Amino acid sequence: MKRSRSSLYFAAFVALFASADALAIDTSGSAALTSDYVWRGSTQSQGDAAVQAGFRVAGDSGVYAAVSGSSVEFAPETHASSELDFIVGWNGKLADDWALDANLLHYRYPATTVDLNWTELNATLTWKDNYWLALGWSPEALGTRQDGLYTQVGVRVPLSPRLRVETAAAWYQLQDAVGGGYAHGQLSAIWAVAAPVELRLSGHFTDQHARERFGGQAAGTRWEAAVQASF
């Protein structure tokens, strides 16, 4: 059942992007090295460094497609060593101060011994480029057959043309989780060293429910330093 749902989602990806007005296409990409790949409050690399890269194409209608990848390290029995994310969506202005990004995201883990792949619907509403509300829903959250709803609110505070602070708070409602889900927060300082390079220092904080679900070595309080270049 989970594989058939993912196949339907992929068909929707292709139909959405194929219908875009792609006569004028913009391309962009990024590459990063991080001291710890932290996703929604828990490490995806067992606290080790991770290498990441991404590429995106966008049509002038606002429709876009993207692929990104990262090294990962899960439980040894899964043999997971890499993650690939495939995204198709639309991004555009709803009004002068409001913008929306809606997308379908498929997480894929090549060469694993178990089926960890899953798909999620996401939407992010942004106000004045600096405030956002993000939602992510999946009927197969974290590669299970359980529903998951992720909700995040955040704010970006420019301190200077080259320095900004970002903070966010989130709740991940998981059908099969202890206590129904877990909370986490994030605080980041980002310094634009020189175009196109940025340095990022982030603190990640989760509650007891996350530690019970993922283990104290994966959740809790974690610090992450990263360098990223965009092109």
Residue 9 reports pLDDT greater than 80: no
The pLDDT value recorded for residue 23 is 54
The share of the chain scoring above pLDDT 70, in percent, equals 89
Which DSSP string corresponds to the chain?
A: -HHHHHHHHHHHHHHHHHTS--SSEEEEEEEEEESS-EETTEESSTT--EEEEEEEEEETTSEEEEEEEEE----GGGT--EEEEEEEEEEEESSSSEEEEEEEEEEE-TT-SS---EEEEEEEEEETTTEEEEEEEETTGGGSSS-EEEEEEEEEEE-SSSEEEEEEEEEEEETTSGGGEEEEEEEEEEEEEETTEEEEEEEEEE-HHHHHHH-TTTSSEEEEEEEEEE-
The pLDDT value recorded for residue 10 is 58
The pLDDT value recorded for residue 19 is 54
What's the average model confidence in pLDDT over 113-127? Answer: 95
The pLDDT value recorded for residue 53 is 98
The share of the chain scoring above pLDDT 90, in percent, equals 79
Domains and CATH numbers, the chain: 2-230 (2.40.160.40)
Q: What is the pLDDT of residues 80-104, one digit of tens each?
A: 999 999 999 999 999 999 999 999 9
The pLDDT value recorded for residue 75 is 85
Residue 64 reports pLDDT greater than 70: yes
